Structures are given as C-alpha cells and as structure tokens.
Amino acid sequence: MAVTVRSILSDLSRVEGIRGCAIVSKDGFIIEKALPSDCTVDSDELAVMVTTLYGTAEMMGSELKAGGIDLINIEFGESLLLIQDLGEALLVVISEKQALPGKIRFEVKKYKDKLREALLA
C-alpha cells in the first residue's frame, strides 16, 4: 500500500516540537496540510506567503551566485519556520520556539524523500 502525503505529514506533525506542517505547490496552492487548530492564518494565505518568500530567496541566491535553495530557516519570537524544497513543491514546518532547530532539520531531512515519492504517486 502506498504511503500518502497526508499520512506522512501526520507522522511529521507528531514529532516533538513540531506544531504543524504543509505541502505547498511552488505556484502558491496548498497540496496537503496538518496545521494546528490554533493556527490563525488561513492555509491559502500561508501558501501564498511561503511561495512569495521562497521566490524572493531564490532571486537573492541567483543575484549572489549562491546556488539553489535547499532549506529556508526563519526564527520568529515565538516559533520557527522551515521551508524545505521538494522539487515541484515545498514542505513548510512550523515548530515551537523552544524546539531544537537541529532536531527539526534532521526530521525534515528524514521525511523529505518519503514526501517526494508520495507526491509522485
């Protein structure tokens, strides 16, 4: 039985410190989500903001001749946001501020290939 994107996101969202996650297409649409119930931003708005941020970072990398983007990591006052490039889509992970960033990055790397495969299925 094929593993679904939804089940993978569900597993990832249960990792200690992770509040929620979503898969966003690079043209700004939610593909799947496992966001916390207290998430105050609309998932469609989140998708647009994430793709805008990704596009801006991509332009910056090009201007700096720094290469392509693999991972974007933003630390806010109360939360961490990671955006992992999956090829045709982006994985967005929202975690608690006190979460260990290295552990969250490790978990994201662990799940990214599973998500790529599930997105192609």
Alpha-carbon span 106 to 29, nearest angstrom: 26
Alpha-carbon span 4 to 114, nearest angstrom: 9
What are 27-47's pLDDT values in tens digits? 999 999 999 888 788 999 999
Q: Can you point out the beta strands (E) in 1-121? A: 18-25, 30-34, 71-75, 79-85, 89-96
Query: What is this structure's pTM?
Result: 0.92
Q: Tell me: domain 5-120, CATH 3.30.70.20, correct?
A: no
Task: Enumerate the domain spans of the chain.
Answer: 5-120
User: Residue 81: is it exposed, middle or buried by C-beta count within 10 angstroms (0-12/13-18/19+)?
Assistant: middle
What are 57-67's pLDDT values in tens digits? 999 999 999 99
